[in-house]
Amino acid sequence: MPTHSLSIKGEALIEMYKGIAQEGHDRIGDERVKHPFSYFNLRKMKTLAKKIFRENNVSTVLDYGSGAADWEKKGFDEETNLSAIEYFELEKVYLYEPGREIDERQKVDCVVCIDVLEHIFICDIPILIRDMLSYSSRLALLNIACYPAQALLPNGDNAHVTVRSPFWWKGVIDSICIEFPSVNIFLGCTLNRTSGKLFNIWKADCWQESDSFVVDL
């Protein structure tokens, strides 16, 4: 679990996701999903992620909120049939998925968190961001969905419990990343299934080194 305790609602959400991992979940206007979160979310941005990994000399990764992602399974890249760990030319990948009681958190070159933070109760978001950044020595690769999900929680709530604008997320992460000034941060926010907002990679050290007091988005 994160260094600081989650809220009561945050703990309740984890228990819900433990149940979902075993029993599946309902979808809006659709049949029940029996094998949830099986899609490897990083696949949709694999070309960009590979470029960013190379530019930051990433060899170790922590997949924070990994779901059912299998980094060693062949076919991550359909053209080459390479696994994700082969495609990204990584040495080691560690997983953190409390919904499946997997916790391999440790210091790595890069923390990857894809389509996770929108599932977090709003009061726990600073705790989770601070926790994930604490494990990165070089890079954080984040993608956040900014629209409601088709998936439903067991209590009927939408699975994307915190839907906010890209600039809201940028502001929250800006305020926390100053505690981790040497970590480069990539933030992508999807507005729907076909479009989104990408922010330029930044780190707080660059703000301190700038000749200006103004920090642009």
Each residue of 145-195: pLDDT tens digit? 999 999 999 999 999 999 999 999 999 999 999 999 999 999 999 999 889
Please tell me which residue, 37 or 76, carries the higher pLDDT value: 76
- More confident site: 27 or 126: 126
CA-to-CA distance for 70 and 83, rounded, in angstroms? 8
Task: Assign 3-class secondary structure to 125-144.
Answer: HHHHHHHHHCCEEEEEEEEE
Work out the number of other CB atoms within 10 angstroms of the CB of residue 69: 22
CA-CA distances (angstroms) from residue 160 to 33, 133, 136, 197?
16, 22, 25, 18
| Average pLDDT of the residues in 126-143 | 98
- For domain 8-209, the question of CATH label 3.40.50 is answered with yes
DSSP 8-state secondary structure symbol assigned to residue 59: -
When pLDDT is cut at 50, 70 and 90, the band that residue 27 belongs to is confident
Task: Name the pLDDT band for 123 (thresholds 50, 70, 90).
Answer: very high
The answer to whether residues 176 and 129 touch, using CB atoms and an 8 Å cutoff, is: yes
Domain map (residue ranges) of the chain: 8-209
Three-state DSSP class for residue 136: strand
The model's pTM is 0.93
